[in-house]
Structure 1
Amino acid sequence: MERVRDIENKERGFVDMTERLPKDYFDLAGGTSTGGLAALMMFRLGMNASQAIEQYKNLASKVFAPTIAGYEIHKLPLGYSLGNLWLWIKRLIKGASFSANRLESAIDTVLQLPELGLFRGTGSDLLCDPAKPSGMMLMCATVAEKGETVLFRSYELPADSRPQSETARKIRHDQITLKQACRATSAAPTYLPEMWIGDIGFWDGGLLNNNPVDQVWDARYDLPDARTAVDATTGAVTYIEPTVTCVVSIGTSYFPQLMEKAAPGEGRGGVGSLISTAIRAAAFATNTEAKHWDFMGNNIRRNARLPDAEQHTRYFRYNAHASKQIDLDDYQAIGSLVKDTETYLDRFDRNLNADGKPMAAAELDMHINECARQLAKTTLEENTTAATAAATAATIAVLPEPIARA
């Protein structure tokens, strides 16, 4: 958003250093787990990116710090080793290393921030609250019993987007609270307890949609300009295909060596081969880059079939290379991720890709500056209508996936 601001200032000829709000530039956003929380903060609660980053750091340290009687073990000598041992014991006894209460308390703390203004409240507030108009966002969760994806939305559930299973149909989407949605999207098995809403159990949305780009893309039909039109005389229904000008997908980094470690061994059989196969299968199951390649290829085919260039969708994907493998609950590694991301952005400025090699033509098309130009509102007229959905086109954001899932 800083680059968007810089472009706007340059094009308009005057300086406005106000930090831009993502909800004013994207018509729809969605995410899973980490990305779901980010979507909530920036689109439902109206935070800017800096505020969301700061609050996520605070939330992660409160939720993932191992504690005994409320005291953080990491603060003790040898605290990291003792803390990991304690988490392992809790996982064996309780089935989850961390407390849902700490997450709920952290959510309440975030919601009490004075700077939220109109959106200040508690975790018991409704996710979809007509009294608090917000940006359109969704969070992915998994119905544990059926293995079905459910999307918790900050806007009214469209009539033609009802869940398919009998279990999921029982969900009262208009009654889902902020706390319930946050718990459901982030309930990673063995890390956080399963979230129960009524008699329905939910797990982390990342079990099915670690990279939820397809779910967010399909939700373009939820946009106001894509709603059905009904002929008053005949009752005939017309479905409107929305034009999406820009899709931005952001990852939380990936560790390339993880896939290399997962490469098949030369031999067959034996314990070593079994372990190698298990590691490889796990790496592929959680590989968010695979969804990226699929979506990019499908988007190229889609655009090629649309003769009008104004109907084309620009797709941008940003996912830094991690310098080391990071565990899902290692909140202390955020500093390392920040450095890796800064390196990634510095390479962009030198027209280098994530591997440090000169960008090919296709990579230049996805340059972060090109993305900022697509989003920037370079006239005063555009700026005054920034918070409204575009009349003929929309922009979509897919926010960071769960950390450390390749």
Structure 2
Amino acid sequence: MSTVKTLGESNVPKLAQASSAETVSQLWFKTKPISRKFCYRAVQLQLETISSDQGHDESHGNVSWSWFELVVFKDGQSEEPVIKNGQPLVWKSHNNRTDPLDTRAADSLHFGIIFDRRHDLFDLIEIGNVIGIRVCAKHPGWINDAQYGRLRAKYVHYDLFSPMAWHVGEGLEASTNEAVTDGVYTLTPPTECHLISKTDEQTDAIWFTTPILDENTIPKFQDIQLFTTARHQGVLPEGATGIWSWFDIVILDTPESTQPKVKDGRVLVWLSHEVPAGQLGDVEQDGKLFGPDHEIFTHLQPGNVIAVRPSTRFAGWELHAQSARLVVRLSNKGRTGGVPRSQVDWAKVIKRNKDLQAALEQYLTKATSHKDPAAVSVETTLLTQELRADRDDNYGEGERPLRLLSLDGGGVRGISALHILKDIMGKVTGDKNAKPCDYFDMMAGTSTGGLIAIMLGRLRMSIDECIDAYEDLASEIFGAGPISKVVNGATTGARYSGDTLANAVKKVIGKHAEGNNPDAPMLDPEDGCKVFVLACRADDLSNSVATHLRTYTNKEVEKSFNEYKIWEAARATSAAPTYFTRIKLGDHEYIDGGVGFNNPVLLLMGEARLYFGFARPIGCLVTIGTGMNPNVVLPDVSNNPVGNIITTAGTIKSMWELVTTSEHANIMARNLLDSNLYFRFNVGKKLVDQTWIKQVSPTFWERIFGKEEEAQKYTEENWASLDIALDDYKQMAALVKLTLEFMTIPAENDRAKRAADKLPPKKVPKKKA
């Protein structure tokens, strides 16, 4: 028994008129997206048209150059045909010419080719595609005058392919042999499946499913296992961590569904297996065996189906699946077991991720010149990935709340952040030399904030050790005289030597790294405090890419960028334009992450969510500024002592255009956490108070303002005039004094106490297995 349905039609005339040997084609109409029902039950497809050509023409004999085509598009918005196996999915239906003596006015009802199940069209079309009808003509004088058309399909009332049923009989047949208690059923796909990722977003497809599940079948599920023959692209991207071509087992609400079922905020998806690395050809694989105690069976409801979903993620990754078998064992005795249901409010977790992603996107946009595309962050893209039901750690559910530390960039002003942190740590245990790496789960820093994060987290230095090293670094790195600055600027475009910076950092690493190795790797041999520093791809300052250089492997991203040496990462995060030359790591050059990402607090929140799990709470977030005021107006480049050096002027202008205030990130971040969990410290907010500065450090006040009448000219709007320059290391002592006084202010002292209360107990780092 069968039925015929119209997939699409049009009574709007469409004319294709050729004037040369080139084919002229006009898209006439499209169908709605192809459904599962079409793929599994349609047996024939035919186009009918009422149309004519130009009439009698003897120039080409009885050959017709007026015809109709069926074209497969990816979706309703696509304008180009789908390409498979290097060929566009386009097939000719029929010509207009039936009688060479007819006239144009003589419209005819044309019935095109009947495409049946033997035709490639049925093998290659996928759920979600649409079929378009094109009106075509070729050679001068030929036309195709289409008046009406419809595309019709014949359907049978049952699925033609596995899974049409569990077997060729009816229902679930039980064996008459009492010793046989189970039935094993093998389901296969009707076609191959090919996926190619072009972005960082996940690319996937529903390949094939089980028959519709009912009340009789669901209780009998004993186990299910997928077997595949497939390959990926063959050559893994350089620096790639993990495999990003894989097969999932998913639950669909109905056979027609194109997205997995969602329950309590989680997507009902479980990993079967990944396509292995190091293989150039097709590989036969056995997927995970989902047994009777697996939670997948507790989520099944009548009307659902279990489906196989091939998936890829990150640009360049491919999956080419040739064949598969989904083997299901059903028991007449029914299934025993089950797993407890999660108590996490997953809807709240999803909203929290979306709010953070929205804040990050706004931050990345602010970090970019208004004339250019927003800055890019892979980690931000991944925040709204589906929450999978198969995560063994349940996304950090039930684990201890996280303790995070974010350090702004700011050149020599980073000394202020160290003294603020020392004050906080002193309130934790009474010991101001308590090592932050023993209390924080993750640190992030930009520019000199990145240097501090490396010293405190990766090298596990005490704060006093870090202060001593920082002061030595500042004097050694920024000690170049005026002549050296001009020479460096004229020859390299930077006023200070990148080699001097690298060598100074190597001295610190050689003193504190394992084995006193100055070339020690970023990847930490201990499973302790996680550290990442921000660097910015220098390909083009107007198309910033926020890059996380890590001391650990984050399995949620394609590349962890942890293969570099510690000094290379320190050099990359500190390569401020006009101050230091950029550094090349791998295929790209990097500059100071402070160009756009000076306050990494939002990126730290995103990284922590990805690495530790979306459901793991944040118990304390300490973010420390370096003396930049919320209303800072960056100085005109003409006031810069090397601002007139032609080789650096363009870079200076680009940099200042792109820098945003660190407080902008702070304002967005503090709205994403409870106030009793978020602690921001920045001496900069007091540096606009002229009275306070005069009381705390008269010498500093006089150096900046001079005479009393001159001081009256300064307001918050032109505060930048009193700012300590990134390289003015001789003013570090003054800033330290201001910072120490700042931390005695009752509000700041109380904030430090409340932050300290959130930090115990001390963590014990573990050696990696």
Matched, 1:154 2:551: yes
Equivalent in the alignment of 1:231? none
Matched, 1:107 2:505: yes
Matched, 1:285 2:680: no
Q: After superposition, what is the alpha-carbon deviation per residue over 1:136-159, rounded to whole angstroms, capped at 9, x for unaligned?
A: 100000111152011011111x23
The amino acid of 1:202's aligned partner reads: Y
**Offset at residue 4 of structure 1 (A):** 4.4
Q: Which runs of 5+ in 1 are unaligned?
A: 10-16, 67-82, 164-171, 227-239, 263-277, 304-311, 354-363, 390-406
Equivalent in the alignment of 1:121? 516
Change beyond 3 A, Cα 1:149–1:340: same
Q: After superposition, what is the alpha-carbon deviation per residue over 1:183-216, rounded to whole angstroms, capped at 9, x for unaligned?
A: 1101111110110113311111111201111111
**Which one of the candidate residues 352, 356, 370 is aligned to 2:754?**
370
- Please, what is the CA RMSD of the aligned residues? 3.0
Distance 2:611 2:765 in 1: 11
Contact conserved, 1:30 with 1:39, CA < 8 A, in 2? yes
Equivalent in the alignment of 2:98? none
Contact conserved, 2:599 with 2:665, CA < 8 A, in 1? yes
Q: After superposition, what is the alpha-carbon deviation per residue over 1:105-147, rounded to whole angstroms, capped at 9, x for unaligned?
A: 111211232xx3x6353342210043x4442100000111152
Matches for 1:139-288 after TM superposition, within 5 Å: 139-145=533-539, 146-156=543-553, 158-162=554-558, 173-224=561-612, 226=613, 240-255=614-629, 258-259=632-633, 282=656, 285-288=659-662
**Offset at residue 341 of structure 1 (A):** 0.3
**Which one of the candidate residues 494, 500, 504 is aligned to 1:96?**
494
**Offset at residue 315 of structure 1 (A):** 0.3
Equivalent in the alignment of 2:442? 28
The amino acid of 1:30's aligned partner reads: A
**Which one of the candidate residues 516, 521, 530 is aligned to 1:136?**
530
The amino acid of 1:295's aligned partner reads: A
Contact conserved, 1:188 with 1:203, CA < 8 A, in 2? yes
The amino acid of 1:370's aligned partner reads: R
Contact conserved, 1:248 with 1:317, CA < 8 A, in 2? yes
Distance 2:460 2:474 in 1: 20
Change beyond 3 A, Cα 1:325–1:133: same
Contact conserved, 1:96 with 1:189, CA < 8 A, in 2? yes
**Offset at residue 329 of structure 1 (A):** 1.3
Change beyond 3 A, Cα 1:84–1:32: same
RCO higher in structure (CA 8 A, sep ≥6) = 1
**Offset at residue 63 of structure 1 (A):** 1.0
Distance 1:261 1:198 in 2: 34
Would you tell me which structure has more strand in proportion to its own residues? 2
Matches for 1:295-334 after TM superposition, within 5 Å: 295-299=669-673, 303=674, 314-321=677-684, 322=687, 324-334=722-732
Contact conserved, 1:96 with 1:193, CA < 8 A, in 2? yes
Contact conserved, 1:46 with 1:134, CA < 8 A, in 2? no
**Offset at residue 92 of structure 1 (A):** 2.7
| Structure number, greater radius of gyration | 2
Distance 1:209 1:260 in 2: 16
**Offset at residue 2 of structure 1 (A):** 5.0
SS at match of 1:247: strand
**Offset at residue 259 of structure 1 (A):** 3.9
Change beyond 3 A, Cα 1:313–1:370: closer
Contact conserved, 1:45 with 1:134, CA < 8 A, in 2? no
Count of residue pairs the alignment pairs up: 291
Identity over aligned residues, as a percent? 27
The amino acid of 1:203's aligned partner reads: I
Would you tell me which structure has more helix in proportion to its own residues? 1
Equivalent in the alignment of 1:45? 459
**Offset at residue 374 of structure 1 (A):** 1.6
Distance 2:491 2:439 in 1: 46
SS at match of 2:547: strand
SS at match of 2:758: helix
The amino acid of 1:159's aligned partner reads: K
SS at match of 2:486: helix
Equivalent in the alignment of 1:65? 479
Distance 2:444 2:634 in 1: 30
TM-score, L = length of structure 1: 0.65
